[in-house]
Each structure stands twice: as structure tokens, then as C-alpha cells.
Amino acid sequence: MKEEGNYLTISVKLLSIILIVLCVQNCVSKSGNKDEKHSKVYEQGSIDKPERLVIAMVEELMKLRDIPPGMSVAVGLKNEIIFSEGYGYSNLETKKPVTPKTQFRAASVSKIITATALAKLVEDEKLNFNDLVNKYIPTYPQTKDSVTIKQLSGHLSGIPHYSGNDKIENRHYATVEDALGVFSHTQLLHKPGDKYKYSTHSYTLLSRVMEKASNKDFLSLLEDDLFNSLGMVSTGPDMRKNPGVEMTELYSFNEKGMNKGLPIKINNPEDPSYKWAGGGLISTPTDLVRMANSYMNGFIKKDIIDMMFETQKLNSGEETGVGIGWRQNWDMDNRKVYEHAGGMGGARSIICLFPNQKLTISIMGNAKRPRRIEETAHMLALPFLTLPSPSVQPRGVTKLNITINSNGEKIKKHGTLILDGKNDHLIIENEITYKLIYMQRENKYALIHPHGILYTEISLDNGVISGKTMYYKSPNITKPSEGLPLFEFSSDLKIEN
């Protein structure tokens, strides 16, 4: 997947330096508010509780362009739902608000739902991760005797992702077997196991294998083995011709002119029935958290969970960072996370599981943003992962030297850091303004960016302000904390206290 990267194009204007301590009350983001509902300004001391901090971060994010008009967040801890909240609108025209019951497209998070049902079939000894596909579908032309179920689920099979050779028809696909015709004529891209190539079509084939092993159609299998058992009452197939009353409208973004970045309704969304298993389901964050909680409450045996989380390897021995569906990652405090994100027309989604802390979080939105939803989820999880540990933060306004790391280049900029404890901002070249929210944890801040909520550190040491803002996604083989920041910054003069 192409790195969405560091898209900052900024003109050079040198700001005059201000080193006096003052309160700055009226520094406003150039992005503008999308709705008066999201116009609150939070005193930093008033958001020490996890719930308030999460609400403050999401409401600031919702003010920006290129952010969905509606989003929902849920958090689980030790098998309990401890937070569930909707933001914005599921229908902009009628101003119908998002609630915890609002359904969204799961997009590629559907793969984790499928992988969880697969785990139950393995537990019931109806199939094995190492079984060959042709054991169940001997007539499928491309797999012959070389592709395993494990390789299908970990994107090592060689089955292509979407391509110009697909035979996708503008209709409803009644069965999984019917949907195989979309791609069954295409050749494998490589010998199974030689390369990692992400493929939604591989999950369609996987779902047909699951049908054969269980003697059930795929949607009935999900209903019987997963949804009913876990109380996932809001999860199912995305029926475009008959959406439920809780299903959100779907939105994209204007790409040009004064309305660039503002949402527009998708009037004829794609029918995803050709890819139920890989990207065709709908759900809520609460349901996805219930599913993720099942990995920690005995619903699935531990030895099977361990196999699902273990990163697969290429034939060369190189790790991919992907297990049975789940992607490997870490947050900025080096806590291990297993997760999967999704994006498609009218949808952005993620489910994250912190196994050692027994915490799960899901975010869903009704447009294909934010880009850095993994980092955003980690930032929203942080208040629930650690107790507050505030330290005395620097106050005032200072000129900065900023380095932007972009595709191997180091771009030098100037900027201003404003810290008053209420309306903190980072300004680059007097044009791009980012809201900062102190996380009440050491020197950690949330930087509110059009691509998501980004991890930021700001420190004052020997009179010099320094800091960094990160920008990462998954899967990862190495810890994001060891990677290059998006921004690195420092004051160019020593501040005398």
C-alpha cells in the first residue's frame, strides 16, 4: 500500500519571535468548524478523566475538513464495554445524530470478523489453518495443491487484490460461489509464500472454504457461530437495497474549490455482496469491541489465539507483521497491539486489541478518513491504558525550527508553539495551525491533524523547547517509537525562566 505520508506544502514566512509569557485566547484553526455542535474549548485541567479526554480529542478532530461527518468510538476493558459514544451526524440532511447504535460499513475490518469465525471452526476441528484450499475446493483453478488456509488469511497466497481483470458486475451476488467468478480466472501473482500481497479476494475464497467445512452458507455461519454467541446484534451483511434504520448514510469529500474537504453524500454506493468476508459487512464499534473482547474471555482457546496473532513468514523467513488476519503493531509506549483497519466508499474503521492490558478499542466513520486511524485509535486508548501523571508544562509563545521528514527528505520550516494550558497550538510558517491537547501524562500531547490524532511530545530542558510528532500505521515489524517523526522541532533560542 502506498504510504500516504507527509503531505505538507507550506510557503516560507519568517515569524517574529515572541518570548514573553502570556495567555493566548483567540488562536483559531484555519480549518474552520463544520458545525456549531463542535465548538467547545476545553480547559486542560478539566479533561483529566479518560472519558472527557477522549471526547475532547474527537470533538476537536470533528472540526476539521477531510474528517467524516459522523464517527463512533467504543472501548472495552476486561470483557466490559467501558465507553461508547457517537459524534456528528449519520445523515447531514436531516441532522440525524450518530449514536452507539449507528451502523457503519466495516470495510476491511470484515476480515477480522471472518478470521474470528475461522478460529471457531479450527477450535471445533472442522478445518485446520494448514489445510490446503483444494481439500475443500478441488476445482478452484489457481490454487492447485499449493495454497493453504493460513496463506489465504495472511495475504501470502498470490491471489490478486482488486485489478482491471476483475469481472465485477453491478448487481447483487446471491452466493459466495457466484462471487468467486469475479476473480477466479486471474493467475496467481507469485508462488504462494514468496511475497506479501494484500488481497480482499483471498478472503472471498476463504469464506467459500469455510462454507465447505461447516456445511453452512457464509452469512449463516457468522450468525450462528459468532453474532448470536457474542451478542453482536448490529453486525451483518451490507444490504444496499434494503439498509436498516440504524445504517448511516455514506459520504465522500469534495476534492476541489472552496468546498474541498467538505463531505458530500454518495448516492449510488457499491453493492459489496461480492466480498462479504473481506469488506462487505456492517457493524458498530460496540459490536466490534464485543468481538475483540472474546479473545480474552475464553470464547476462543488460547493456543488458537496465539496462532492467529503470530506473524506469518515468507518462504525466505522474512516476517510480514500479519497473522491470521490480525496485523501487528505497537503504540508509542511500546505496548503490543493487534489490529486491522478498513476503508472504502463511505467508510473508515478499525478494531484494536491490547492483549497485555486486556483493552480493546474500535472507531468507525461514514467517510474514508482519517488516514492515520491506527495512531488515532492508540491516542484515544491512551487515557484508558494509564493513570494520569501530569507534569509541569512550559507556558508561553516561542519561535521554532521545524524539520519535516517526508519520503526520505528533511524539509526545514519555521513555526510557533503556543502553550497557555487552554488553547495550545503548533503553527507552521504562519499558515498551518494544529490544535494541541495535553494528555495529562508526562510530556505527551495529542496533535489534531486532518489525517488523525497524532502522538506528540513537548519538553523543556535547560531552557530549550523540543518535541516531535509521530505518523504511523500498521502492519509493523519494528516499533513506531523507533521510526522517524513526522515533525521534529525545537526553539532556536534558550528561554530564560
Distance CA 147, CA 152 (A): 7
The three cell numbers of residue 5 are 505520508
Domains and CATH numbers, the chain: 1-67+372-497 (no CATH), 104-369 (3.40.710.10)
Q: What angle do CA 361, 363, 369 make, to 5 degrees?
A: 145
* Packing angle, helices 110-123 and 285-293, rounded to 10: 30
User: Over the stretch 480-495, which tens digit does the pLDDT of each residue have?
Assistant: 999 999 999 999 665 5
Find cell 503470530 and name the residue. Answer: 310
User: Over the stretch 410-425, which tens digit does the pLDDT of each residue have?
Assistant: 999 999 999 998 899 9
Distance CA 69, CA 111 (A): 25
The three cell numbers of residue 402 are 521545524
Report how many helices (DSSP H) and strands (DSSP E) the chain contains, helices first. 11, 22
User: Over the stretch 85-130, which tens digit does the pLDDT of each residue have?
Assistant: 999 999 999 999 999 999 999 999 999 999 999 999 999 999 999 9
The three cell numbers of residue 303 are 493456543
- Is-above-0.85 flag for pTM? yes
User: Over the stretch 373-388, which tens digit does the pLDDT of each residue have?
Assistant: 999 999 999 999 999 9
Residue 42 pLDDT > 80: no
Q: What is the mean pLDDT of the chain?
A: 90
Q: Torsion-angle region of residue 373: left (phi > 0), alpha (psi -120 to 50) or beta? A: alpha
CB neighbour list of residue 206: distance below 8 Å, 6 or more residues apart: 114, 118, 149, 152, 153, 277
| Mean pLDDT of the region 203-227 | 98
User: Over the stretch 140-167, which tens digit does the pLDDT of each residue have?
Assistant: 876 666 899 999 999 999 999 999 989 9
User: Smallest Cα–Cα separation from 156: which of 319, 374, 353, 352?
Assistant: 319
Report which DSSP code applies to 298. Answer: T
Percent of all residues in the chain with a pLDDT value above 70, rounded to a whole number: 88
Count the neighbouring beta carbons within 10 Å of the beta carbon of residue 468: 18
| Mean pLDDT of the region 33-40 | 40
Distance CA 134, CA 149 (A): 10
Residue 7 has a pLDDT of: 31
Alpha-carbon dihedral angle through residues 154, 156, 159, 164, given to the nearest 10 degrees: 90
Report which DSSP code applies to 483. Answer: S
DSSP 3-state of 449 = strand
Residue 141 has a pLDDT of: 72
User: Over the stretch 321-342, which tens digit does the pLDDT of each residue have?
Assistant: 999 999 999 999 999 999 999 9
Task: Evaluate the omega torsion of the peptide bond into residue 475 and state whether it is cis, within 30 degrees of 0.
Answer: yes
User: Smallest Cα–Cα separation from 6: which of 363, 420, 389, 484?
Assistant: 484
